[in-house]
Amino acid sequence: MIDFELPPQVQQARDMLHMVAETMMRPIAREYDEREHEKPWDFLNAMWEASKATNPVSFGGGGKKEPGAPSVRNLQTVVSIEELSWGDAGLYLSIPNPGLGGAAVAAAGTPEQRERFLARFRSGPPKWGAMAITEPHCGSDTAAITTTAVRDGDHWVLNGTKIFVTSGKMAAQESDGFVVVWATVDKSAGRAGIKAFVVERGTPGMTVVKVEDKMGIRASDTAMIVFENCRIPLDNILGSPEVQRSTEGFKGAMATFDATRPAVAASAIGIGRAALDFVRAELEKHGIKIRYGVSRNKLTAIERDFMDMEATLQAARLLTWRAAWLMDQGRHNNLEASMAKAKAGLAVTQVTQKAVELLGPLGYSRKYLLEKWMRDAKINDIFEGTQQINLLVVARRILGYSSKELN
């Protein structure tokens, strides 16, 4: 039988994080949206102390698992991210954690590397991980990456520029963090020559040259990082350094996105739900209550719009939970991860824009957070693979085409 109820431990974590979102994040959301390049250290330190004992790859951890009970780590993670993003997506993204860099280590690293790079997130001062893949001339086409990694004795030497690195400044400059950098060891090999490298905080030759001014998620830093003769140990490459003319090694690195795309989808759902909750509350203040169970042709236009918004978000949530559940089962979720990301990214942009539209001047005013949620929403349709890229992945998986056959 299909069960849509959350396990008790996941529901407990959800309730706790909703309280955090409501009491710690919402009150400072506007302040740190306006003070984009400042950090809410009281909040960050509190979240670090609360979270460093959980699983070092994700926010939710897995809680204690009874012998023989199924894993719920990834399901708990996406549910937790939804609640934190309901509080504020920018603040959620600024919380100290391994981030996308940690996900890359978990997906492509050896057991020794996972322990070496992720164990540090269990203790000490706040620290961040980040992943650097996008370049000034290269967005979704990862085969066009030009950052190079050249072996020199017992080191790799990295040269290149990466842009739009989420938490890049914090990972590169604070405490004991690291940046996972995607670079090519053999340009002629195309995707097969692309590898992931861990560059630890403070490594000479890694320089944060710019922190972006952004439309949304402004509490989170987004950096440009230049690597100039940046030397890292030989064993900081994730996985094998061997270049095989198949793309199997590259697919292993790309498995990072199978884990992170459901997380992005969950964040989108949290933002959309925040907007929906606000609209419902404002409508009720004005005596407008959504009537469920009434024939659609008897509903007002506002009621129909609101129900459509709810249905869109719920569909995205169920896709996201399925993608997370598959990970917990140890099953491939490449198709489902991209479906969830594509659906949620589109849903949150539509829902937040419609929410602003429904409330008119009230929605457009900076007096309330609704206009901010509309700004925060759009990034979920862009990073971790754009809407178009994720739909392309979905089409390839359903139709059985390779990237060369369908691009």
User: CA 218, 220, 224: angle at the middle one, nearest 5?
Assistant: 100
257 and 373 together in one domain: yes
CATH number of the domain that residue 62 is part of: 1.10.540.10
Q: Is residue 404 part of a domain?
A: no
pLDDT at 245: 59
Q: Is residue 1 part of a domain?
A: no
395 and 254 together in one domain: yes
Q: Which of 2, 15, 3 is CA-nearest to residue 82?
A: 15
Q: Is residue 112 part of a domain?
A: no
Q: Is residue 108 part of a domain?
A: no
Q: Are 43 and 88 in contact (CB under 8 A)?
A: no
Domain residue limits at 369: 248-399
How many domains does one find in the chain? Answer: 3
Q: Is residue 326 part of a domain?
A: yes
193 and 270 together in one domain: no
150 and 177 together in one domain: yes
Q: Is residue 389 part of a domain?
A: yes
Selecting among 82, 212, 336, 384, the annotated active-site residue is 384
pLDDT at 189: 86
pLDDT at 62: 43
Q: Are 206 and 101 in contact (CB under 8 A)?
A: no
Picking from 191, 210, 236, the residue at the C-terminal end of a domain is 236
266 and 222 together in one domain: no
Picking from 210, 236, 262, the residue at the C-terminal end of a domain is 236
261 and 328 together in one domain: yes
pLDDT at 61: 42
227 and 138 together in one domain: yes
Picking from 202, 236, 270, the residue at the C-terminal end of a domain is 236
147 and 280 together in one domain: no
306 and 365 together in one domain: yes
Q: What is the pTM of this model?
A: 0.92
379 and 256 together in one domain: yes
pLDDT at 217: 97
271 and 203 together in one domain: no
Helices (H), 197-300: 248-285
**pLDDT tens digits, 304-325:** 999 999 999 999 999 999 999 9
CATH number of the domain that residue 220 is part of: 2.40.110.10
213 and 259 together in one domain: no
CATH number of the domain that residue 252 is part of: 1.20.140.10
Query: Helices 334-359 and 370-377 meet at what angle, rounded to 10?
Result: 150
Q: What are residue 113's phi and psi, to 5 degrees?
A: -65, -40
Residue ranges of the chain with per-residue pLDDT less than 50? 1, 55-64
Q: Is residue 406 part of a domain?
A: no
384: annotated active-site residue: yes
Q: Is residue 135 part of a domain?
A: yes
pLDDT at 208: 97
